[in-house]
Structure 1
Amino acid sequence: RTYGLAQPFADGVKALTKEDVVPRGADHVLHFLAPVALLAFSILTFAVIPFGRNLVPLELDAAVLYFFAAGAATELAVFMAGWASHNKYSLLAAMRALAQLISYELPLLLSWVPVVMIAGTLSTTGIVDAQSGWKFGFLPHWFVFTPWGFAGFAIFMVSALAEANRSPFDLPEAESELIAGHLTEYSGFKYALFFMAEYFGMIALSGMAITLFLGGWRAPLPWLEFVPSYFWFGAKLLVLLFGFIWLRATFPRLRMDQLTRFAWKFLVPLALINLGNAAFWSLSFGWSGPLQLVRWGISAALVVAPFVVMGRTLSAGVAPRTYRYA
C-alpha cells in the first residue's frame, strides 16, 4: 500500500499520455516548438547555479549574464505559442504575457547590477565567495544584510514573481478573461511541458536569488559550517519556494494597467536609485568608526525615502473604494 503517495506521479504520467490535439488552422511546427523551446531555455539556466561547494555544473566568467540571457529567450517561446495556436484568446494572452515580461525584465536586470558592482565579478562562484565571512563574529556577510542588498533582493523577488507568471502577476492565464491564456489550444504532453517550464523557471530564479543575495550555499551561522553546503542551498530554496506558493494563495490578481504602472513607475525608478546607492556603498568602503554609522544611515535613507515618496505617488492616482450597499 502506498497510501496515496504515488498519486502525484500517476497524475504526471496521465498528463503526459493524454491525446495531443492541434487546431486545424494552427502552425504545426511552431505549435510543437513553443513548449519544447520554453522548457529547454528553462533547463539551460540551471547550468551556472552553484548548488554547493564545487557543485556548479558550468563555470563561466559571465555566468550571471548567461543566466538572464537564457531566461529572456523564454519570452519568444511564449509569444510563439500564442501566435501559432490560431486562436484570438491565445494571441491576446501572448501579447499580454510579452508586455508583462518586458516590463519586469528591466527591474529584474537592474536589481542584480549592484551585486556585480560590489562583488566585482559576473561569476556566480565569485559572487558567493564575495559573501564569505562574518560580521561581529556571527552575522553572515550576505548582501541581503545591507540596505542596498535588501532593496535589490525585494525588487528581484517581485520581478521574479512576474517573470515566472506567478500570482498576483498571472494575468496571461486570467481564466475569466482569456480561458487558459496562451495554453488554450494545448493539451496532453505539450500542455504538461509548459507547466514543467514554469516550475523550472521558478526554481531557477529562486536559486539565482540565493546566489546573488543570500550567500549561496554558505551556512547562516559560523558554528553550522560543518553541515554539507548543498543542504543550506536546499533549505534556502525551500523557503523561497514556500514564499511563491504562499503569495499565490494570498493575493488577488492585478489588472493589466496596475501591473505595468507598478513596474515602470515604482520598480524601475527604485532599482535605478538602488544602483546609485550601491555605488555610494562601494565608494565609502574605507569609512570606519562613526563614519560607518553615517554610511549605513545614508544608504538606508536612499532606500526608505524613495520607497515612501514613490509609493505615495503611485497610490495617489487610485480612486478610493466605494461600497454601493454599505
Structure 2
Amino acid sequence: MTYPDPTLFGHDPWWLILAKSLGVFVFLLLTVLAAILIERKILGRMQLRLGPNRVGPRGLLQSLADGIKLALKEGLVPAGVDKWIYLAAPVISVIPAFMAFAVIPLGPEVSVFGHRTALQLTDLPVAVLYILAVTSIGVYGIVLAGWASGSVYPLLGGLRSSAQVISYEIAMALSFVAVFIYAGTMSTSGIVAAQNDVWFIFLLLPSFLVYLTSMVGETNRAPFDLPEAEGELVGGFHTEYSSLKFAMFMLAEYVNMTTVSALATTLFLGGWHAPWPISIADGANSGWWPLLWFTAKVWLFLFFFMWLRATLPRMRYDQFMGLGWKLLIPVSLAWIAIVATTRAMQNQGYQGWVTALIGVTGVAAILASLLAWRALRARRRRTPHGPPAQSSDHGAFPVPPLPVKESADA
C-alpha cells in the first residue's frame, strides 16, 4: 500500500500555513463552546430537567455568557502560593492540548485559492508518538497547580493526576502498538490511508476498547475524575483558582477531550473516510465532504464522554488503579502478541489470517461482554438487601457501643 509521504508537509505558502493553524484553533474553540452547552443539555435531559434555557434562544448563548462571566471575575491569588508557578500552571495545561491537534488529518487534499493542500497542519513519521509526548506534558500543569497552591487538597489532586496519567498512558500506548503493526506506519495520514478498505475498529476491537477506557482516564473525566473528586477533595487541583485561570483549566479539559476523540477517529474509525453506505457514493471521500464525516465521528466520542458522566458514579481509587494495571495492560500485551503473529503469517502469504483475526476479535468482544455481565451479576448478589446486621464481634472492627435510652422513671 502506498502511504502519503510526511516530508511533503510544510511546503505550503506561509499564509496557507497560518490559515490552517488559525482554522485548527477556531475549530477547537468552537467545539469547546458547543460541547459545554450540549453536555449541560444532555445531562439535563438524562436527569429529567431542561438544562440551560435562559441566555439566548433556547439557551444557545449560555457558554458564551459563562466565558464572559469568568473573564470579568476578579483574578485572586491566595496568600502563600508560589506565584510564578501558580500562574504558569494553567498555561502549561492548555498549550499542549492545542499542540497535539497539529498532526490530526481532518480531510484529504483540497484546493484553496488554487493551491493543493491537505486538511492537516503537518505530519511526522512518528506523529502518534508526538501526540503521546505532547499530551503527557499537560499533566505537569495539573501537578504544578496542586503543588503551587499551598493547600493540602489541591496537592492531593495533583498527586492523583500524576499516578493516573502514568498508569493509563501505558495502556494507551500499548493499544497503539497493534495499529502500528497492522498499518505499518506511525504517521497519522498513513494510518488513515491504511483504513481505506477496512476500519481498524473491526480488525483491532480489543485495542479500541482499551483505548476507549484509557482516553477517559487520560482526560480526568467521570467516572475517572479522581484528581478533581469534589466530594472528597473540595475541587481538586484547581480549588484555589478563579477567573481566567480556572477557565484555562476547563478549556484544556475539553480540548483534550476533542483531541483524544480525534485520535480515536484517526486510529480506529477510518479518520475522514465516509462511513458505509455513504462511502459508495462518488465524491464522498473527496473535496470538503470528509471534514463533515470527521467532525461527526469526533462528536460521537464526545457524546460518549457526556453519556458516561451522566451514567456512572466515580470509582474508588484502588479500583481505578487496579483496572489499569491488572486488566488493561495485560490484555493489551496479550493482544499485541496475537496481532503480531497474525500479521507475520499474513506477510508470509496466509491471507486467511485476516479473517481469523476478525474472528478472534469477535470472540474477544463476546468473552469481554460475558465477563462483564457475570461480574455485574456477582456484585448484585453480594449486595445486601435490607438493613445490615450488627455483628457482636467487636474485635474485628472498632464499633462504638450504641447509646442506651434512659427510662422515663429515671
Alignment TM-score > 0.5, same fold: yes
Q: Deviations 1:4-38 (Å, cap 9, x if unpaired)? A: 43332121111122111111110000001110010
Written as runs of structure 1 = structure 2, the 5 A alignment for 1:236-255 is: 236-255=297-316
Contact kept, 8 Å, 2:102 with 2:120, in 1: the verdict is: yes
Change (3 A) 1:253 1:98: same
The aligned residue for residue 322 of structure 2 is 261
For 2:337, the equivalent position in structure 1 comes to: 276
Check if 1:199 corresponds to 2:254.
yes
Confirm or deny: 8 A CA contact 1:119 1:127 kept in the other structure: yes
**Equivalences for residues 146-225 of structure 1 within 5 A:** 146=203, 149-221=204-276, 222-224=279-281
The code of the aligned residue for 1:26 comes to V
Q: Name the structure 2 match of 1:287.
A: 350
Given that residues 34 and 80 in structure 1 are in contact (C-alpha distance below 8 angstroms), is that contact kept between their aligned partners in structure 2? Answer: yes
Give distance in 2, aligned partners of 1:69 and 1:292.
32
Change (3 A) 1:52 1:292: closer
Structure 2 CA distance for aligned equivalents of residues 99 and 270 of structure 1: 20
Establish whether residue 88 from structure 1 lines up as the match of residue 152 from structure 2: yes
| Residue 382 (structure 2) aligns with | 320
CA contact (8 A) 2:81 2:150 kept: yes
Label 1:218 to 1:101 Cα distance change in 2 as closer, same or farther (>3 A).
same
Deviates more, 1:312-321 or 1:57-66: 312-321
Residues 99 and 314 of structure 1, relative CA distance in 2, 3 Å threshold: farther
Match of 2:140 among 76, 88, 101: 76
The Cα of 1:97 is off from its aligned counterpart by 1.4
Q: C-alpha displacement at 1:305, in angstroms? A: 5.6
- 1:59 Cα deviation from its structure 2 partner: 1.7
Instruction: Provide the TM-score with structure 1 as the length reference.
Output: 0.89
Read off the aligned partner of 1:193 and give its amino acid letter.
Answer: M
Go from structure 1 to structure 2 and tell me whether the alpha carbon gap of 1:295 and 1:65 turns closer, same or farther (over 3 Å shift): closer
Question: 2:40 matched to which residue of 1?
Answer: none
Q: Which one of 29, 47, 52 corresponds to residue 107 of structure 2?
A: 52
Higher relative contact order (CA 8 A, sep 6+): 1
- Paired residue type of 2:145: A
Q: What's the counterpart of residue 400 of structure 2?
A: none
Change (3 A) 1:319 1:73: farther
Q: How many residues align?
A: 316
Counterparts in 2 of 1:216 and 1:7: CA distance versus 1, 3 Å: same
Partner of 1:264, secondary structure, is helix
Distance (Å, rounded) in 2 between the aligned partners of 1:318 and 1:5: 41
Using the size of structure 2 for normalisation, the TM-score is 0.72
**Alpha carbons of structure 1 residues 157 and 299: separation in structure 2 relative to 1, 3 Å:** closer
2: CA distance, partners of 1:171 / 1:102: 14
Residue 143 of structure 1 is matched in structure 2 by: 200
Instruction: Give structure 1 stretches of 5+ with no counterpart.
Output: 134-140
What is the percent sequence identity of the aligned residues? 41
Distance 2:79 2:140 in 1: 23
Which residue of the partner structure matches residue 43 of structure 1? 98
Amino acid in structure 2 at the alignment position of 1:105: E
How much has 1:293 moved relative to structure 2? 4.8
Q: Tell me the C-alpha RMSD between the 2 structures.
A: 2.6
Which secondary structure does the structure 2 equivalent of 1:284 belong to?
Answer: helix
Q: CA–CA distance in 1 between the matches of 2:240 and 2:360?
A: 53
Counterpart for residue 283 of structure 2: 226
Please say if residues 97 and 171 of structure 1, whose CA atoms lie closer than 8 Å, have aligned partners that are also in contact: yes
